[in-house]
Chain A
Amino acid sequence: MRMNRLAATMAAVLATALAAGCSGGGSSAEPAPQTTTAAAGPVKLVYWTWAPNMDKIAAAWNAKNPDIQVTVSKQAGGDDAAAKFLTAAKAGNPPDLVQAEYQMLPSFVAADAVADLSAEIASAKAEFSEGIWRMVTLGTEGVYALPQDSGPMMLYYRQDLLKKYGVEVPKTWEQYAQAARTVREKDPKVFLGTFSSKDPGAFAGLAQQAGAQWWSIAGESWKVAVDDPATRKVADYWGGLVKEGVIDDQPYFTPEWNKALNDGTLLSWPSAVWGPGVLSTNAPKGKGKWAIAPLPQWSEGENFSGFWGGSSTAVAEKSPNRAAAVKFATWLNTDPEAVGMLVSEAAIYPAVSDAGSRLGSAPEYFSNQEDFWQQATTIAATARGFTFGPNVNVAYSAWKDAFDKAVRDKSSFSSALATVQESTVADMRKSGFQLAR
């Protein structure tokens, strides 16, 4: 009793002190932001994103919609952004709109952090391909976000150097392995490719191409199959190449990797449609020498690809302005003008189906391949994805640990995969998800 009164007094004193402090600081610094009130004046929306120049796109919206004003707050991207959003949602002050990577969306849904928009945006479905739409419905009746960009995968290769080593652009993975051996024979300093044990996203894309389904929802329970036969095939293929030593095993996005891309000792990169941005910055010397082709296939006559990366726009469950937020998100991701700006300002590959018509001329870096975007759009149509589960971050870090070790010890990649499956299942069980057997 006495403790309670003491605590109450303390809280009151603290609150007064804080209020005094705030009003004192308000004159010198910016006034503390008010919580959005839906009463008078325009609806104010806060949008967390890491896509470049999104503030300019929001400014275009704000100019035309005086009653719905969007403030863009640029965040750091990746896994940390997801953790930060989840924490903010838990504390009760999330932004109204948030950029959500497809693989993170299920964890947002599981934490009730994002709203089910199926009532509001069912009509937008027609704008997107089925594969991409599945990423935001998770294979359920709900719709948890609007797709924004996607990362269909393709093979980037050094046109001039493949010619120099007398290697054809590989059409199947078998040919890719042969080509890797040929390149090693002609010049032992050069690798056709590398296997990165730091990029589970890239591996997931290759597994999708092979037809993997890592997660699926059956009724009320989840099914996890990270080590399904398709994925095992992909793992063993790359494990074999690494063990044989015909491809390199250094991870992507390191300074060494940049250097290898730049000086022509690394000849190909199975990557996503956002590759040009990476290549032009990290390998400036390769300008006009790289080209794209569809990913090599598992058997001749097939035509599949997978997704690496891509994100969507979700609305926070706790946002008091859901209708306005949905309106903005729909405009941003489907309106021709907005999508055009996503391409030109934010440099992303939009998720809408008729993206190709808005992409214009080839990126400057690919001046040697004038039909770059036409090719990319054709490839994008062949990409198939899978439903991500609620603990992708756990699965991905287990993947990094297991494959790091497998690469170091040159041990079996499919047993590394079994470890990932085990950790993923164990974590889901621990978090209380129902698992189908």
Chain B
Amino acid sequence: MAATTVPGRTAAPRASRAGAVVPTAILLLGALYCLLPVSWVVVAATKSKAELFSTSTFVPGTGLLSNIADLAAYRDGVFWLWLANTVLYAGGGALLSTAVSTVSGYALAKYAFPGRNLIFTVLIGGVLVPAVVLAIPQYLLFSSFGLADTYWSVLLPQILSPYGVYLARIYAAAAVPDALLEAARIDGAGHWLLMRKVALPLMLPGMVTIFLFQFTAIWNNFLLPFIMLGDDAKFPLTVGLYTLLAAGANQPALYNLIITGTLISLVPLVALFLTMQRHWRTDLAGGALKS
């Protein structure tokens, strides 16, 4: 008896320690995998033209400030215009998309109406269709409306996000208790008040998630604006930086400017995630308390 319990007692903590080490190691590997390219961008952005291809990969260079100055001077500062465009597309698009997703997700989760399941099934189908496939049909459609090459041509297609609606519905179903709605209804709240005062505050963490997802997706989107926009004053960063990369045969790609531009375009995303993280934590905590 004693012989079996003693090793059992020591084995248990060892097993749990080993159990903790493996996931941690895997997570660390994952973090390394994700962060290595980013750290390369950070280091490479500090290299001057002469250093970029001649010094060893992870040795910082001396050209960061001159790279930024060159980038700011490139075509009279068109980079900042592209940055502003991207903020408009991503910020505006994500806000509108979050609004649409939340309202429709809430309605789908909390109201029973004919065709509800059909709509939801179609939505699930929409999640499965990659946005890339739709870019060219959308372009032809917008062209026939005369809307191609406008700000709207990039904003509108991104507003309806099937995944966002799906997420909002799931979240509303879990986070907004029917009993609460019922109670408010008995107190005489109408649909509008019900949504604004009861449902939306409860759905805030979910909304933040949808906003961040959409913001990142639009920020990084390349194909849709690439196809839709002809006027380089309306380009977002992705398409703009690509014109520096594929600069034609007689002009070498402007690697220094592209890398520096990539680094600068990362900054707002990182800042956004850091500031929004707070809401995500409540999200996780809220989920934990629910059951």
Contact = CB atoms under 8 A, between A and B. Distances in A.
Interface of A: 15, 18, 21-22, 25, 29-30, 32-33, 35, 46, 48, 50-52, 55, 71, 73-78, 80-81, 84, 87-88, 90-93, 95, 149, 151, 201, 253, 255, 258-259, 262-263, 272, 274, 277-278, 281-282, 284-285, 308-311, 347-349
Interface in B228-270: 230-233, 239, 242-243, 245-253
Contact of A81 (B88, B245, B246): B246
Given A74-B232, A76-B245, A76-B246, A281 B149 contact: no
A33 B149 contact: yes
B140 interface: yes
> A-side binding surface: helix, strand, loop or mixed?
mixed
* Residue with the greatest number of chain B CB neighbours at <10 A, chosen from A15, A84, A93, A151: A93
B147 A18 contact: yes
A281 B252 contact: yes
Given A46-B231, A77-B246, A281-B252, 10 more contacts: A18-B147, A18-B152, A30-B151, A52-B247, A75-B230, A91-B140, A91-B148, A151-B250, A258-B53, A349-B250
B275 interface: no
A78 B248 contact: yes
A35 B252 contact: no
23 contacts: A33-B149, A48-B230, A50-B248, A51-B248, A51-B250, A71-B231, A75-B232, A76-B239, A76-B242, A76-B247, A84-B226, A88-B148, A91-B140, A151-B250, A201-B249, A259-B53, A274-B250, A277-B250, A277-B251, A285-B50, A308-B249, A309-B249, A310-B249
Contacts of A277: 250-252
Contacts of B139: 87, 91
A35 B146 contact: yes
Contacts of B150: 22, 32-33
Contact of B230 (A35, A73, A272, A349): A73
A347 B151 contact: no
A262 B54 contact: yes
B149 A284 contact: no
A94 to B, nearest CB: 8
A76 to B, nearest CB: 4
B272 interface: no
A95 B149 CA distance: 11
Nearest to A283: B53
A284 B50 contact: yes
B204 interface: no
B49 interface: yes
B143 interface: yes
B248 A46 contact: no
Contacts of B230: 46, 48, 73, 75, 88, 93, 95
A191 B203 CA distance: 65
B227 interface: yes
Contacts of A272: 249-250
The 3 closest A-B pairs by CB, nearest first: A274-B250, A77-B248, A91-B143
A285 B152 contact: no
A58 B270 CA distance: 39
B38 interface: no
B136 interface: yes
A87 B252 CA distance: 26
A18 B33 CA distance: 44
Contacts, number: 121
Contacts of A21: 152
A151 B232 contact: no
A353 to B, nearest CB: 19
A77 B249 contact: yes
B160 to A, nearest CB: 12
B145 interface: yes
Contacts of A347: 250-251
B75 interface: yes
Contact of A80 (B152, B246, B253): B246
Contacts of B144: 91-92
A71 B248 CA distance: 19
* Residue with the greatest number of chain A CB neighbours at <10 A, chosen from B88, B231, B233: B231
A76 B238 CA distance: 11
A101 to B, nearest CB: 8
Given A32-B150, A277-B251, A74 B53 contact: no
B243 A76 contact: yes
A120 to B, nearest CB: 24
Contacts of A149: 250
A311 to B, nearest CB: 8
B88 A29 contact: yes
Contacts of B147: 18, 32
Nearest to B246: A76
A99 to B, nearest CB: 8
A93 B143 contact: yes
B152 A22 contact: yes
Contact of A262 (B53, B239, B248): B53
Contacts of B243: 50, 74-77
Contacts of A77: 243, 246-249
B250 A348 contact: yes
Contacts of B250: 51, 149, 151, 272, 274, 277, 309, 347-349
Contact of B53 (A71, A255, A308, A311): A255
Contacts of A87: 136, 139, 227
A309 B145 CA distance: 37
Contacts of B143: 91-93
A51 B249 CA distance: 9
A33 B150 CA distance: 7
A308 B151 CA distance: 37
* Residue with the greatest number of chain A CB neighbours at <10 A, chosen from B136, B149, B233, B248: B248
Contacts of B246: 50, 76-78, 80-81
Contacts of A30: 151, 233
A262 B54 CA distance: 7
A35 B230 CA distance: 13
* Residue with the greatest number of chain B CB neighbours at <10 A, chosen from A255, A277, A281: A281
Contact of B151 (A25, A48, A262): A25
A81 B245 CA distance: 12
Contacts of B88: 29
Contacts of B249: 77, 151, 201, 272, 274, 308-310
A325 to B, nearest CB: 15
* Residue with the greatest number of chain A CB neighbours at <10 A, chosen from B75, B230, B231: B230
